[in-house]
Amino acid sequence: MGRLDGKVILLSAGAQGIGRAAAVAFAKEGAEVIATDVNEDKLKELHQYPGIKTRVLDVTKKDQIEVLAKELDKVDVLFNVAGFVHHGTVLDCEEGDWDFTMNLNVRSMYLMIRAFLPQMLARKSGNIINMSSVASSIKGVVNRCVYSTSKAAIIGLTKSVAADFIEQGIRCNCICPGTVDTPSLRERIQARPNPEQALKDFLARQKTGRMCTAEEVAHLCVFLASDESAYVTGTEQIIDGGWSL
Ligand SMILES: NC(=O)c1ccc[n+]([C@@H]2O[C@H](COP(=O)([O-])OP(=O)(O)OC[C@H]3O[C@@H](n4cnc5c(N)ncnc54)[C@H](O)[C@@H]3O)[C@@H](O)[C@H]2O)c1
């Protein structure tokens, strides 16, 4: 018996990194997974896993979200993963960078929750998980100004939804990873003027001496998606190998 038998789980950013690892872990535990992303080619790689269906979805597009919400009448778990990391201080962050990040990281979650919460309320049962970060209200991190601002907003959104709908059978939590070894992290390292030094710097700030793996975050995702966490709501789940200690 799987820990997620009978559950329908919809997630964004499923094509790579944490979203992909979570989609695979959810399916292994018996869930029916709908993995969405803007990257159609990479999404197709998920077809090898029984239990995973894929769908192209740009989470910044309200019309696309609403079409999907009309098609899916039972989503037990909504996992909002999509997010973008802008590098820089407040002075490096142009208005366009600010708007792009807040739109993709925060407004997308607002749109997704507004689209899928009503059907959860109608069933008096629903579980929303949002991807935040320890780079947020938890920890000040250099060169992560708008990113941290957006991730702090996600903690606020999470607690607000949890508080507003707890009596209607809805729970809402967020996940706050430290540094996770994912394709986009590798790209960010490669984009630095000295990638070798950038990798060393990333590793130097890890108290465990290594980065977190996407699969380790996926274990936490399975717990939050399952009924094992039925009494957990409104929390920020830190998984950072002690970085924020
Ligand atoms: N990797 C880390 O160190 C780390 C740490 C803390 C939090 N996070 C958060 O975890 C989440 C996933 O990060 P990751 O590093 O695992 O993934 P990633 O950055 O490697 O992949 C992101 C995925 O999002 C998709 N995407 C981009 N724009 C989209 C859009 N408009 N609509 C739908 N999908 C879109 C991309 O195609 C890609 O598949 C993000 O919210 C990120 O901020 C990551």
If you average pLDDT over every residue of the chain, what do you get? Answer: 97
**Are residues 45 and 18 in contact, defined by beta-carbon separation less than 8 angstroms?**
no
Report residue 241: phi and psi, to 5°.
55, 30
Query: Would you state the pLDDT for residue 43?
Result: 98
242: left (phi over 0), alpha (psi -120 to 50) or beta: left
Query: Nearest residue CA, atom 22 of ligand 1?
Result: 13
Q: What percent of the chain has pLDDT over 90?
A: 98
Q: What percent of the chain has pLDDT over 70?
A: 100
The answer on pLDDT for 75 being more than 90 is: yes
180 lines ligand 1 (CB under 6 A): yes
Q: Residue 74 CB: number of other CB atoms within 10 A?
A: 11
Of 40, 45, 35, 44, which Cα lies nearest the Cα of 12? 35
Query: Given the CA of residue 185, which atom of ligand 1 is nearest to it?
Result: 1
**Are residues 140 and 89 in contact, defined by beta-carbon separation less than 8 angstroms?**
no
Of 71, 61, 60, 7, which Cα lies nearest the Cα of 33? 7
Query: Nearest residue CA, atom 30 of ligand 1?
Result: 58
At 132, list the tokens: 């935040």
At 6, list the tokens: 């009978």
Query: Would you state the pLDDT for residue 101?
Result: 98
Query: Would you state the pLDDT for residue 216?
Result: 98
Token pair 């430290």: residue: 178
Which one of the listed residues 49, 110, 147, 231 is annotated catalytic?
Answer: 147
Q: Side chain identity at 85, as an amino acid letter?
A: V
CA of 235 to the centre of ligand 1 (A): 21
Query: Would you state the pLDDT for residue 31?
Result: 98
Query: Nearest residue CA, atom 24 of ligand 1?
Result: 13
Query: Would you state the pLDDT for residue 162?
Result: 99
State the Cα–Cα distance between residues 96 and 83, nearest whole angstrom. Answer: 16
CA of 20 to the centre of ligand 1 (A): 10
Token pair 């329908």: residue: 8
> Residue-wise over 97-115: b if at least 16 C-beta within 10 A, else e?
bbeebeebbbbbbebbbeb
58 lines ligand 1 (CB under 6 A): yes
Q: Give the pLDDT mean for 62-89.
A: 98
Query: Given the CA of residue 132, which atom of ligand 1 is nearest to it?
Result: 7
Query: Would you state the pLDDT for residue 110?
Result: 99
231 is catalytic: no
**Band of the pLDDT at 7, cuts 50, 70, 90?**
very high
**Band of the pLDDT at 205, cuts 50, 70, 90?**
confident
Of 25, 20, 11, which Cα lies nearest the Cα of 57? 11
Query: Would you state the pLDDT for residue 52?
Result: 98
pTM of the full structure: 0.98
The answer on pLDDT for 58 being more than 90 is: yes
At 119 the three-state DSSP class reads helix
241 lines ligand 1 (CB under 6 A): no
The answer on pLDDT for 15 being more than 90 is: yes
184 lines ligand 1 (CB under 6 A): yes
CA of 103 to the centre of ligand 1 (A): 14
What are the tens digits of pLDDT across the range 82-127?
A: 999 999 999 999 999 999 999 999 999 999 999 999 999 999 999 9
83 lines ligand 1 (CB under 6 A): yes
What are the tens digits of pLDDT across the range 143-202?
A: 999 999 999 999 999 999 999 999 999 999 999 999 999 999 999 999 999 999 999 998
Which regions of the chain does DSSP assign to beta strands (E)?
Answer: 8-11, 32-37, 52-56, 77-80, 126-131, 170-177, 180-181, 212-213, 236-239
Q: Which residues contact 130 (CB under 8 A, 6 or more apart)?
A: 80, 109, 154, 157, 158, 172, 173, 174, 175
Report residue 15: phi and psi, to 5°.
-75, -25
